[in-house]
Structure 1
Amino acid sequence: MPSRNHLDKIGRKKKKKWTEEAMEHALTQVKSGRYTVRQAAKEFGVPKSSLGDRVSGRVRPGSRSGPAQLITSADEELLVEFSSYVSKHGFPLTKRQLVSFASSIYKRQHRRVAFSKLGQTWWLNFRKRQGKNITVQAADAGARRARKVRVAKEALDYFFRILNSVLEAHALADKPQRIWNCNEVAFQLARKRATPPKSAARGCQSAPAFKDRVSVLACLNAAGADVPPFVVYSKAYPGGLCYKTRGPSSALYGCSDSGRVTSELFKKWFLGHFLLHAPKERPLLLVFDGHKSPLNLEVVETARREGVVLVCLPPHCSHLLQPLDAGLFPLIKRRFAALSGDADVTLFAVSKKDFSGVFKGAYQVTREDEGIGIVKESFRKCGLYPSCHFPLNRERLMSLQNTDAQPGDATAPNGVVSLALPGMSA
């Protein structure tokens, strides 16, 4: 990976002193027969070899010098515009995320390439080309660590400015059926087996054999309606098809190594499930924790095309802003524990194969008056509908005014290296 010093040395090399316009005039005169290559090069001040390459056809007119550009100028503009959109909706991109999205564009153009060629060299050159269009904001590590314990008031202010501007721009302030929230809840499963007793007096003991994790991505709106859940198993699907036939109606299923919703699974859910079951009225607002489920470039492009506005919750604030965490998920877990015969709501003695059947009974609460009422009240408490910047205890807030940030820095509330257009407002 080349260093900055190496790239600076390359940048200090002798640059061309002629313009493309002069080269075009010289090429026109040579092709018309008025000048020879030597005469035209001298008359218009362009290199004779470069002009000769264009006359012979070895180099196409307008071609840039150096190696071929990995991402076209049009796609670079798309990337800049994309970073502006996501920044305005609560999740500014880190350097790593932007390079990842750029790699997705590169792979889309070069489908046979198994790996991305975009690295530090591309990133630094991209920064030079797009320096007028993007601003790199340094992370404040101290503030980021502190936010894990307390909630930053600036982060909440920033989020509600975004939320209110979106609701006003799309006339959604009085349409609860179009305001959606999706969130992930985890179920830790433990199978138990009998272990041989160490002595006859102690008898047979029960000990955990191994644990499985199952996550459920639920999505409900401020009116209490839901999109069928997305069940994600750890490592592999259960054997047979009973997990589908016994589970909630129209539910979606997936698996990942960790049993969590990954970027690819979130894309699968959004493109093939949410858009299928969500209301046809547009626009829709989808509020979610984009920091746990990293966004996919295709998700954002499709959402904008389909009239779905994505808004991301600020990090370390989900316990205050997630409606489903506020009341529905604890109720579902209590129902699940009661149906499975467990007194503990943190560890369930249910197999992966039987999980969907038990979960179906627990998830039924979302269609009952109790569950619908809890969802509506949770949206109100979290300030999502009606939109309200609720007052918080000062002990739970943290001001960023006393951090080590330099004067004039426009650090986003997320406290990460982010990209945003200069002068961009929330």
Structure 2
Amino acid sequence: MVLAVSAIGNSVPPVFLFPRVFCKDHFIINGPPGCIETSYPSGWITSESFLKFIKHFHGHVRSTKGNPCLLVLDNHESHLSIGVLNYFCKENVIVMLSFPPHTSHRLQPLDRSVCGPFKEFYFASVDDWMINNPGKTVTIYDIPGIVKMALPRAIKSTNIISEFQVTGKRHTTEKCLLMMTSCPAQSRIER
């Protein structure tokens, strides 16, 4: 799952990454409002899936030359493709700022404010789902619906804003956003 939040506490609906060759719209039918889906056989983000995310992101932030957007993200190779940087971000005035390698654990405000609470709320939502669906196994098609229950509890404006302040990023503009990635399905299996 890929999600972006702003320093003033707003968020962009998530993009779900499915470990499939092809993705179908029904995968996210019960997901959070405005979410979209993409796929790759390994389930990891690629340049193509990141381009889909960045287009989704731009559709929500609507950056322009007079109102550019700063997107702060980790140093993953999928974020560095020519198609994303030169063709889409440059044309749509999305300035991408990448953390130096091996520093996101110190600079990433979402780890404690969103990811930690999200995991807890996600696990609780999975437990609720299993109680309400006895004898059934959670599948990847159930994950968006489970995320729909957990995500609003994790992306509280107060948590996001306070965490940006803790890491020293006291931006007051709505256009400063930060990207986060998470894989709830793998988290649940490892639990």
TM range (shorter): 0.7 to 0.9
Q: Partners of 2:23 and 2:46 in 1: how far apart?
A: 19
1:284 aligned residue: 69
SS of aligned partner of 2:57: helix
Deviations 1:372-402 (A, max 9, x none): 1111111112222259xxxxxxxxxxxxxxx
Q: Partners of 1:237 and 1:333 in 2: how far apart?
A: 27
Q: Partners of 1:294 and 1:335 in 2: how far apart?
A: 28
Whether 1:217 aligns to 2:2 is yes
Whether 1:324 aligns to 2:110 is yes
Q: Partners of 2:78 and 2:108 in 1: how far apart?
A: 14
1:311 aligned partner, one-letter code: L
Whether 1:312 aligns to 2:95 is no
Instruction: From the superposition, tell whether residues 383 and 338 of structure 1 become closer, same or farther in structure 2 (CA, over 3 Å).
Output: same
Q: Which of 243, 246, 251 is the equivalent residue of 2:35?
A: 251
2:126 aligned partner, one-letter code: S
Moved over 3 A (4+): 236-240
Whether 1:231 aligns to 2:19 is no
2:188 aligned residue: none
The higher relative CO (CA closer than 8 Å, separation ≥ 6) is in 2
2:175 aligned residue: none
Shift in Å, 1:292: 4.5
Shift in Å, 1:237: 5.9
Q: Partners of 1:300 and 1:350 in 2: how far apart?
A: 37
Instruction: List alignment gaps of at least 5 residues for structure 2.
Output: 129-136, 173-191
Instruction: From the superposition, tell whether residues 292 and 330 of structure 1 become closer, same or farther in structure 2 (CA, over 3 Å).
Output: farther
1:16-415, aligned counterparts within 5 Å? Answer: 216-236=1-21, 241=26, 243-271=27-55, 273-280=56-63, 282-301=67-86, 302-341=88-127, 350-366=138-154, 371-386=156-171
1:127 aligned residue: none
Q: Partners of 1:314 and 1:247 in 2: how far apart?
A: 33
Q: Partners of 1:268 and 1:328 in 2: how far apart?
A: 22
Deviations 1:154-210 (A, max 9, x none): xxxxxxxxxxxxxxxxxxxxxxxxxxxxxxxxxxxxxxxxxxxxxxxxxxxxxxxxx
When the two chains are superposed, the root-mean-square deviation of aligned CA atoms in Å is 2.3
SS of aligned partner of 1:352: coil
State whether residues 5 and 12 of structure 2, in contact with CA within 8 Å, keep that contact through their aligned partners in structure 1: yes
TM-score (structure 2 length as normaliser): 0.76
Q: How many residues are matched?
A: 161
2:149 aligned partner, one-letter code: G
TM-score (structure 1 length as normaliser): 0.35
Larger Rg: 1
Q: Partners of 2:78 and 2:62 in 1: how far apart?
A: 23
State whether residues 233 and 254 of structure 1, in contact with CA within 8 Å, keep that contact through their aligned partners in structure 2: yes
Q: Partners of 1:382 and 1:259 in 2: how far apart?
A: 30
1:365 aligned partner, one-letter code: R
Instruction: List alignment gaps of at least 5 residues for structure 1.
Output: 1-215, 343-348, 388-426
